[in-house]
A and B are shown apart, each in its own frame.
Chain A
Amino acid sequence: MALETVSQEKTQRLEILSPEGCIDAAVSVDVPEPVLLDIYRKMVEIRLFDERAIKLQRQGRLGTYPQILGQEASQVIPALCLEPRDWLVPTYRGQGAYYARGMQLRYSLLYWAGDDRGVRFGQERDMIFSIPVGTHLTQVAGLAWASKLKGDGSVALTYLGDGTSSKGDFHEALTFAGQFKLPAIYVIENNHWAISVPRERQAAAKTLAQKAHGYGVFGLQVDGNDPLAVWAAATRAIARARAGQGPSVIECETYRLGHHTTADDATRYRSSAEVEAWKRKDPVPRLRRYLEKRGLWDEARENALLDQAQAMVQAEVDAYEAFPPPNPLDMFSENYERAPWPLVEQRAQLEKLLEFKADRQEVPALPPAEGRFP
């Protein structure tokens, strides 16, 4: 019997805005002007914040911090396309996404300073990220499933990296999302490096977007440094999901211009020529050039934005540094709806120990304990 083709999926790539800020005349761009300006403002703000956070870390005023430099478009835009009722689950490199949904950046600093009080996001449906990568992906299928079962019209949007697309969790999440036609959007921020391991080492597949097809899920690759393409892809995927047409994978091809975290040294494993080549595709100046061409932006507006953004970042840093040290008893709060006896007993032990340490001046004066206990 002759072979016949039973399945033939094509993977498309979307790029609208060239690195020079020129638009493909064949593509209609319907991003409303206020949205365009909001995207640009948030990308600039998060970049300034990122730079400041790195400085704080270098000065010993912050713990290990994951930079998003270069990924501002793929970070900020999909989250901005959501409605408040939608679920958002970023990765640990997700301060841009949370910020787009209204998180005050002081909390991001507090979290990366090793303080649990830093977990405070902008929306009720912003879920905390997972540190063991990819473990959130099936949970997101569950969030989307609940939306479908409840029929509340909400969608769930999540992020993952190119490295995470290698994990079994990705396979299981897409299996569920495809099988139950869930309103879920999986945004792969393919930044080309999982710490020191390059994208090519993650999968023999030509694109990560094409993986979606194997699960009956819509998959699209976009130039992740092209804000217009990311916006178009995200809004379409969200609309599809909301209309009951099922899940999507959007592979945003972008680049991590910084180190993996402040604990990493990327010069050990990649060339500066590669980094320089990607700098030319930087999403921030790319969008600025486009806005200028459309007469929506100029140097005066840029300077005003930079001033405002610097002031905002400074205010957030000040607010972060004004937090008193956490009360160690806080760690016993919010472990159970009602804490069982071991916690009651152990909290009392810690309380005694803190008094002992206070007598010996080993701990500073502490604020009252926070959170629900028992």
Chain B
Amino acid sequence: MSAANGTATRELNLVQAINEGLRQAMEADERVLILGEDVGVNGGVFRVTEGLYQKFGGERVIDTPLAELGIMGASIGLAVAGLRPVCEIQFDGFLPSVLDQVVCHLGRLRNRSRGHNTVPLVLRAPHGGLIHAPEHHSESPEAYFCHTPGIKVVVPSTPEDAKGLIIAAIKDPDPVVFFEPKLLYRAARGPVPERPYETALGKARLAREGGDISLICWGAMVHTCLKAAEELSKDGISAEVLDLRTLAPVDLESLLSTVEKTGRVVIAHEAPNMGSWAAELCALISERALLKLKAPVRRVGSWDIRMPLFRLERFYIPDAERVALAAKETLSF
């Protein structure tokens, strides 16, 4: 179902779009419930679940004790037993504590039980930096999740996609990790259809067409790449921007199609390059489109050190300047 066909739209930000998607998914399916820290009365620390406790009550929008691993494990149990939990881990920096359940169980239960136990849940968490947040509140841990077989990983970059993807994630029969770029929570605004709709998982979005070089990205970095593309256009360079939207499983067709079109690739993301999802994309491109390349694929990520405190975050996470410089170097290879 495309978001574009018919019915009214209005401008929403990312928070409002996800909130509406959650609300409509809960209206459509009474098995859907939300649990996490501060998601109920307080409406979430970013207000993503605002108003849902008041509308659906404390049995469906549940403030849990402060125990991330407990939230994760309990959500798995709820999902195996037939409910559709959407659990929230309040900050990306608290996700490592749920990896025990994610790696050992969330991605494996279907296979281990030979299809007897399935885990249709959504794990929501904020993603990324550049909001001057405290330590452990600006992380980009997607690679840990993408590396885990059996789960899907989604990162929207526009309000329209955010609503369609959260609804699709909730309906998906398998576990989906849904990252919400916190830089975009209020900064990204755009038209969002009022009715419920799904944006297909596993499909990328061409955010900008171009012929000279492909900038591949996700989350908040999509906007950085669009800015870089704009800068590059002043120098007569036509950059294409591919917003992956789903990281796992990645949209191979769109990925290869842009590589074949331009032959030059920069992959931009917020995580350190070492062992990153960008590294996996590089491998995919080299395995499947090596002869289409006119230059080595370039990764532009954060440095291979921990995220510094926020005074230095803009020197750590790539900005449009770093992306554009890498693009120019790739073009002059």
Query: Which of B43, B69, B70, B310 is most buried by chain A, counting CB atoms within 10 A of its CB?
Result: B310
Given the known interface contacts A202-B66, A353-B322, the answer about A114 and B304 at a Cβ–Cβ threshold of 8 Å is: no
Q: Which of B96, B135, B304, B312 contacts A330 (CB 8 A)?
A: B312
Interface presence of A273 (CB below 8 A): no
Say how far A340's CB is from chain B's closest CB, in angstroms: 9
Known contacts A111-B309, A330-B312, A132 near B66 by CB under 8 Å: no
Contacts A/B (CB < 8 Å), 23 sampled: A63-B132, A64-B134, A111-B309, A114-B310, A114-B312, A116-B308, A116-B309, A118-B309, A131-B134, A168-B70, A194-B66, A202-B65, A203-B65, A261-B134, A268-B43, A328-B312, A330-B308, A331-B312, A342-B274, A342-B304, A343-B305, A353-B321, A357-B321
A114 adjacent to B132 (CB under 8 Å): yes
Residue among A166, A331, A335 making CB contact with B315, cutoff 8 Å: A331
Within 8 A of A (CB), among B180-228: none
Residue A346 at the chain B interface, CB threshold 8 Å: yes
* Contact A132/B42 with A167-B66, A350-B315 known, Cβ cut-off 8 Å: no
| B67–A166 touching, CB < 8 Å | yes
A132 with B94, Cβ < 8 A, contacts A196-B42, A197-B65, A268-B42 known: yes
**In the complex, which range does the number of interface residues on chain A fall in?**
35 or more
> Measured between alpha carbons, how far is A342 from B279 in the docked complex, in Å?
15
What residues on A are CB-neighbors of B97 within 8 Å?
132, 135
Check A197–B134 contact: CB distance below 8 A: no
A-B CB proximity, top 4 nearest:
A114-B310, A163-B66, A196-B42, A328-B315
Q: Does A269 contact B (CB under 8 A)?
A: yes
B136 and A132 contact, CB distance less than 8 A: yes
Convert A136-157 into 0s and 1s, putting 1 for each residue whose CB lies closer than 8 angstroms to a CB of B. Answer: 0000000000000000000000
B296 at the interface (CB under 8 A from A): no
In the complex, chain A residues whose CB is within 8 Å of the CB of B51: none
Which residues of B are found within 8 Å of A195, using beta-carbon distances?
37-38, 42, 45
Are A201's CB and B63's CB within 8 A? yes
- CB of A67 within 8 A of chain B? no
Tell me which residues across on chain B come within 8 A of A264, comparing CB atoms. 45
Task: List the B side residues contacting A354 at CB < 8 Å.
Answer: 315
**Given A132-B93, A330-B312, also A168-B67 (CB < 8 A):** yes
Main secondary structure of the interface of B (DSSP, over half): loop
Closest CB of chain B to A61's CB: distance in Å? 13
Cβ contacts under 8 Å, B56 to chain A: none
* Complex contact A196–B63 (CB within 8 A): yes
A166, B42: Cβ atoms closer than 8 Å: no
Residue of B nearest to A111 (CB): B309
Closest residue of chain B to A131 (Cβ to Cβ) is B136
CA distance A335 to B133 in the complex (A): 22
Question: Is A332 interfacial (CB-CB < 8 Å)?
Answer: yes
> Cβ of A168: which chain B residues have Cβ within 8 Å of it?
67, 69-70
A357 to chain B: closest residue by CB:
B321
On whether the beta carbons of A269 and B305 are closer than 8 Å, the reply is no
**CA of A135 to CA of B311 in the docked complex: distance in angstroms?**
25
Q: How far is the CA of A116 from the CA of B313 in the complex (A)?
A: 11
Question: Which residue of A is nearest B41, CB measured?
Answer: A269
Cross-chain contact B303 with A346 (CB below 8 angstroms): yes
Give a binary string over B130-172; 1 marks a CB under 8 Å from any A CB, 0 the rest.
0011111100000000000000000000000000000000000
> Which residues of chain A have C-beta atoms less than 8 A from B96's C-beta?
132
| Interface membership of B277, Cβ < 8 A | no
Q: Assess whether A23 is interfacial by the CB under 8 Å rule.
A: no
Interface residues of A in 199-213 (CB under 8 A from B): 201-203
Q: For B135, what are the chain A residues with a Cβ–Cβ distance below 8 Å?
A: 131
Within 8 A of B (CB), among A3-37: none
A298 within 8 A of B: no
Q: Give the CA-CA distance A132 to B133 in the complex, in Å.
A: 14
B311 touches A113 (CB 8 A): yes
Q: Counting CB contacts under 8 A, is B316 at the interface?
A: yes
Closest A-chain residue to B65, C-beta based?
Answer: A166
* Residues B67 and A326 in contact, CB atoms below 8 Å apart: no
Given A131-B134, A131-B136, A353-B322, are A343 and B66 neighbors across the interface (CB < 8 Å)? no
Docked CA distance A335–B311 (Å): 18
- List, in ascending order, chain A residues with CB within 8 A of B70's CB: 166-168
A358 at the interface (CB under 8 A from B): no
Residue of A131, A166, A331 touching B316 (CB-CB under 8 A)? A331
Contact mask for chain A residues 153-178; partner B; CB cutoff 8 A; 1 contact, 0 none: 00000000001101110000000000
Chain B 25-68 near chain A by CB (<8 Å), digits 1 or 0: 00000000000011011110100000000000000000111111
B66 engages A133 (CB within 8 Å) = yes
> Distance (Å) between the CB of B100 and the closest chain A CB?
9
CA distance A203 to B306 in the complex (A): 34
**Which chain B residues border A275 with CB–CB below 8 Å?**
none
Is A115 an interface position by the 8 A CB rule?
Answer: yes
From A114, A203, A326, name the one whose CB has the most chain B CB atoms within 10 angstroms.
Answer: A114
Residue of B nearest to A135 (CB): B97
Given A164-B66, A196-B38, verify A114-B311 contact (CB < 8 Å): yes
Decide if A331 touches B303 in the complex (CB within 8 Å). Answer: yes
Task: A272 to B1: give the CA distance in the assembly, Å.
Answer: 48
Chain A residues positioned under 8 Å from B67 (CB to CB):
166-168
Given the known inter-chain contacts A131-B136, A168-B67, please indicate yes or no for A194 contacting B37, CB distance below 8 A: yes
**A115-B311 in contact given A132-B93, A268-B42, A331-B303 (Cβ < 8 Å):** yes
Cβ–Cβ contact B69 & A197, under 8 A? no
B116 to chain A, nearest CB (A): 27
CB <8 Å contact, B308 and A163: no
Supposing A132-B94, A166-B66, A268-B42 touch, asked if A114 and B137 sit within 8 A by C-beta, the answer is no
